[in-house]
């Protein structure tokens, strides 16, 4: 590929920003473009068909010395950027947790960029600061959280959880804010507990906070991949006996691999008994609690000290926005507040200055997009969409269960299906079978993803390669789900036939072909 050169003849706008007439013209053009892009979101391959470095080769290595015309820049969005994107807006994006930039959310982002408010102090952003409190309260009501929870908005669940653990540690009153943790003989090992299925962000939080990875004790899970509370109790008691200081449990509602739900009421009991901070990671599944008949997924969470949920995951709000609810905002403040003279304001005692509640000083006006999404769809409209995603997941799970070629690998409490192809071969050891099926399912996934029609990702459950179909995009319909099931079966058939050619074993040939059925 030939490297493009910057045009030698630049175009030079007058001092100041883009002229208003141009802004208006290109603004309309861009909105039209976005509208077409979203309407045709299914027309492009979901997964960008590019190799590492392909994209970069097409962009000049040096920045332009003179300005370039907006027309040219926009043409390059179409020509260069879009073909090298993985399309998260595609309705057959089923990998990881699929997400949505809904139209009101996109408008919220646009306005946020235009206002360019820095929400560090109430004074620098009265509407933004107070709208954040409103957005937190609204979503809290929709999820059925008690009114005592206040909160703060960060970018991601990883950052929210890191702050929750910092507050949990601050509450121990061990002078860690002042003295740190290194070089101190008077500090025991501090311990955080989370299940083996908990998100890696918990481990990153203990790394970041200087607690170290050994501070995190991973508790085994039961058959449904939820935390085994008996094992938690045993671990806490053992640690206490050995002079370790337990201080926090992270329970997950909707784990990342399987969306399993830890038994929060029982975990809350343990936390009360041992005086531990309970943080709930509901990054994905917290949104489901806005559906009245699913509210019970947050049972016990009213007793948590903190809880995180991400509207950018399953509440149709564009990246990024994560809500940290906390009962003890005073503790969070104590952990982080540091006010230099140039940021002192008269009203500091009567308002929430958000810079006091975390690492960052400057912050974006993230609540705006969430507020617009909630207003546009309404509580019922949002619940209806989440309910539909859960219906589609159950439908898909039903197809998996009915087919002799496939099996479910975990319960389906929300909109994620964990499954695999499982053709049988006679007289095979368990280990040989596991290895064979792992390979087959990995190839099926690659095959599906290469078609560009759908994008699935995987996880590993007890060493078993597990396909994940995560439904969560606002445009996903039954037709996309059905089509993906078909593509999966086509890949299954293709690979089974390939397997036949390569295996002379008659038994194998017979047993695989006997089980291939297309929907």
Ligand X SMILES: *Cc1c(COP(=O)(O)O)cnc(C)c1O
Q: Which is nearer to ligand X, 254 or 423 (CB)?
A: 254
- Cβ proximity to ligand X, 283 vs 421, nearer residue: 283
CB of 308 to ligand X, least distance (A): 7
- CB closer to ligand X out of 156 and 337: 156
CA 55 to chain centroid, in Å, comes to 26
* Dist CA 41 CA 84 (whole Å): 14
Of the candidates 160, 150, 104, the one whose C-alpha atom is nearest the C-alpha of residue 129 is 150
Q: Which is nearer to ligand X, 100 or 322 (CB)?
A: 322
Q: Which is nearer to ligand X, 91 or 286 (CB)?
A: 286
**Strand arrangement, sheet containing 457-461:** 406-408, 416-421, 464-470, 457-461
144 conformational bin, left if phi > 0, alpha if psi -120 to 50, beta if neither: left
Min. distance of Cβ 224 from ligand X in angstroms? 16
Q: How far is the CB of 416 from ligand X (least distance, A)?
A: 10
Distance CA 386, CA 109 (A): 22
Under 8 Å between Cβ of 285 and 259? yes
DSSP, collapsed to helix, strand or coil, labels residue 258 as coil
Whichever of 199 and 333 has its CB closer to ligand X, that residue is 199
Q: Give the residue with the Cβ less far from ligand X, 44 or 369.
A: 369
**Beta-bridge partners for 217:** 193
Q: Which is nearer to ligand X, 125 or 255 (CB)?
A: 255
Q: How many angstroms separate the CA atoms of 496 and 494, rounded? A: 6
DSSP codes of every residue in 359-425: S-S----THHHHHHHHHHHHHHHHHHHHHHHHHHHHHHHHHHHH-TTEEE-S--SSSEEEEEE----
Paired sense of beta strands 190-195 and 150-154, if any: unpaired
Q: Nearest distance from residue 123's CB to ligand X, in Å?
A: 29
Query: Could you tell me the maximum CA-CA distance found in the chain, to the nearest angstrom?
Result: 84
- Find the shortest distance in angstroms from Cβ 417 to ligand X: 16
Smallest gap, in angstroms, from Cβ of residue 399 to ligand X?
A: 25
CB nearer to ligand X: pick between 322 and 443: 322
User: Rule CB under 6 A: which residues touch ligand X?
Assistant: 97, 156-158, 199, 201, 252, 254-256, 281, 283-284, 310, 322
Is the Cβ–Cβ distance between 471 and 478 less than 8 Å? Answer: no
CA 181 from centre of chain: 31
Minimum distance from residue 253 beta carbon to ligand X (Å): 8
Shortest Å distance, C-beta 63 to ligand X: 31
Cβ contact 171:328 at 8 Å: yes
Least CB distance to ligand X at residue 56 (A)? 25
| Secondary structure string (H, E, C) spanning 451-511 | HCCCECEEEEECCEEEEEEECCCCCCCHHHHHHHHHHHHHHHHHHHHHHHHHCCCHHHHHH
The minimum distance between CB 279 and ligand X, in angstroms, equals 11
Minimum CB distance to ligand X smaller for 98 or for 201? 201
């Amino acid at each position: 590929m030939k490297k493009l050169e910057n045009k030698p003849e630049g175009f030079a706008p007058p001092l100041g920003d883009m002229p208003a007439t141009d802004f208006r013209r290109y603004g309309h053009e861009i909105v039209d473009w976005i509208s077409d892009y979203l309407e045709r979101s299914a027309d492009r391959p979901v997964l960008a068909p590019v190799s590492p470095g392909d994209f970069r080769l097409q962009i000049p290595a040096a920045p332009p010395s003179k300005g370039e015309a907006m027309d040219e820049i926009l043409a390059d969005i179409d020509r260069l950027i879009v073909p090298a994107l993985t399309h998260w807006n595609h309705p057959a994006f089923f990998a990881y947790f699929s997400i949505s930039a809904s139209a009101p959310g996109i408008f919220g982002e646009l306005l946020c960029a235009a206002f360019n408010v820095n929400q560090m102090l109430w004074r620098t952003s009265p509407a933004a600061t107070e709208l954040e409190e409103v957005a937190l309260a609204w979503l809290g009501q929709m999820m059925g959280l008690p009114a005592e929870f206040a909160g703060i908005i960060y970018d991601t669940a990883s950052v929210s959880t890191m702050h929750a653990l910092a507050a949990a540690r601050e509450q121990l009153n061990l002078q860690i804010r002042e003295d740190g943790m290194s070089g101190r003989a008077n500090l025991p090992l501090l311990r955080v507990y989370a299940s083996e299925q908990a998100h890696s962000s918990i481990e990153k939080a203990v790394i970041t906070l200087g607690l170290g990875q050994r501070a995190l004790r991973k508790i085994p899970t039961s058959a449904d991949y939820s935390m085994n509370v008996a094992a938690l109790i045993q671990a806490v008691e053992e640690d206490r006996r050995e002079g370790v200081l337990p201080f926090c449990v992270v329970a997950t509602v909707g784990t990342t691999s399987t969306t399993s739900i830890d038994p929060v009421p029982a975990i809350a009991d343990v936390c009360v008994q041992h005086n531990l901070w309970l943080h709930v990671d509901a990054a994905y599944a917290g949104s489901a609690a806005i559906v009245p008949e699913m509210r019970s997924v947050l049972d016990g969470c009213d007793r948590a000290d903190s809880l995180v949920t991400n509207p950018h995951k399953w509440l149709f709000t564009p990246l990024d926005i994560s809500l940290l609810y906390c009962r003890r905002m005073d503790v969070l403040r104590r952990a982080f507040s540091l006010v230099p003279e140039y940021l002192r304001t008269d009203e500091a005692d009567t308002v929430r200055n958000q810079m006091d509640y975390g690492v960052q000083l400057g912050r974006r006006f993230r609540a705006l997009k969430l507020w617009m999404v909630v207003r546009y769809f309404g509580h019922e409209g949002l619940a209806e969409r989440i309910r539909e995603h859960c219906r589609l997941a159950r439908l898909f799970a039903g197809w998996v269960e009915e087919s002799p070629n496939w099996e479910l690998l975990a319960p389906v409490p929300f909109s994620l299906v964990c499954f695999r192809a499982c053709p049988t071969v006679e007289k095979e050891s368990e280990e040989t079978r596991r290895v064979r099926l792992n390979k087959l399912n990995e190839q099926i996934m690659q095959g599906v993803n290469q078609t560009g029609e759908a994008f699935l990702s995987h996880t590993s459950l007890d060493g078993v390669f597990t396909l994940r179909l995560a439904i969560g995009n606002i445009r996903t319909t039954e037709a996309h789900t059905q089509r993906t099931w078909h593509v999966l079966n086509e890949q299954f058939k293709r690979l089974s036939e390939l397997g036949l050619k390569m295996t002379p074993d008659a038994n194998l040939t017979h047993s695989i072909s006997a089980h291939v059925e297309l929907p």
